[in-house]
Amino acid sequence: MSAPAARKSRMSRSSLPESTGADGTGAPAGKAARASKSAAASASSRSGSTPHSPRHPQTTLTISSKNYSSWSLRGFLLCRLAGLDFAEARVSADDPSIRAELLLQSSSFLVPRLDHDGLRIWDTLAIGEYLHEIAPEAGLLPKDRAARAHCRSICGEMHSGFANLRSALPMNVKAHHPGFKVWTGALADIARIVAIWNECLRAYGGPYLFGAASTMADAMYAPVCSRFMTYDVPLDPLSAGYRDTMLAFPAMREWSAAARVEPDEMEELDVEF
């Protein structure tokens, strides 16, 4: 990384609050520890090294603003759910020198980006699928084939859709706009998201979208929960309960706490980046 990039990026070892399991769910650390062990075993079987040996490249998640970057949040939650031990590298996406640096480093300058076991993985869905491969016990995707297909479908829908919601209600963890008037174009997106949530919560019994344990789908829809809170979007009781469950999710609380103390670098921002 060049000198300006090194100055701007902030690297920190990502660690969990002592009271939470390593998967960020508040569940006993055993599940995440097992997932981590499996990830480590899988990684070392391919690379011939252990994750902590000097030959093993550092596992890093590159993200940008915790207040504004919804994709960074998704990547972070996916890594937490997989029980991955990772360092965070922070880049300021609005800095031209950083953008140039990221373009040189990768085919995509977008974040999140995961560097693991000598591999570079970008794009949130690819990161989620990769993490599921290296830590299958973590349950990023449901065990049941039909539920798994359903989960992939709604993750894909989030990944490729809801453009009106993105531009009308950009993620802004710090902000709160009581009584916000939502533009009509975004209302159809909100209605569709609420329908997806209701269908999942009814079919699998909650409190997460695919039942008792959180999955990739919860990571994908978590930024929407934050937006619904920021913009005071009225919800039916089932959806409101899900929003609150996700906002109370330990890894989500950890992210939001960091977002709240982040300097206001992009006060003028009014579209999602």
Ligand X SMILES: N[C@@H](CCC(=O)N[C@@H](CS)C(=O)NCC(=O)O)C(=O)O
The answer to whether residue 111 forms part of the interface with ligand X (CB under 6 A) is yes
Residue (85 or 94) nearer to ligand X, CB? 94
Residues of this chain, 131-190, that bind ligand X according to CB under 6 A:
159
Residue from 34, 99, 120, 148 in contact with ligand X (CB under 6 A): 99
The answer to whether residue 92 forms part of the interface with ligand X (CB under 6 A) is no
Report, in Å, the least distance between residue 158 CB and ligand X: 9
Residue nearest to ligand X according to CB distances in the complex: 124
Q: CA-to-CA distance for 210 and 204, rounded, in angstroms?
A: 5
The answer to whether residue 69 forms part of the interface with ligand X (CB under 6 A) is yes
The answer to whether residue 229 forms part of the interface with ligand X (CB under 6 A) is no
Find out whether 111 and 90 touch, Cβ atoms under 8 Å.
no
Stretch that binds ligand X, among 65-73, 82-90, 182-190, 238-246 (CB under 6 A): 65-73
Q: Which of 198, 157, 170, 126 is nearest to 268 (CA)?
A: 170
Stretch that binds ligand X, among 7-15, 30-38, 110-118, 224-232 (CB under 6 A): 110-118
Report, in Å, the least distance between residue 29 CB and ligand X: 28
Residue (180 or 273) nearer to ligand X, CB? 273
The answer to whether residue 123 forms part of the interface with ligand X (CB under 6 A) is yes
Report, in Å, the least distance between residue 52 CB and ligand X: 28
> Which residues in this chain contact ligand X in the complex, by CB under 6 A?
64, 69-72, 93, 99, 109-112, 123-124, 159, 273
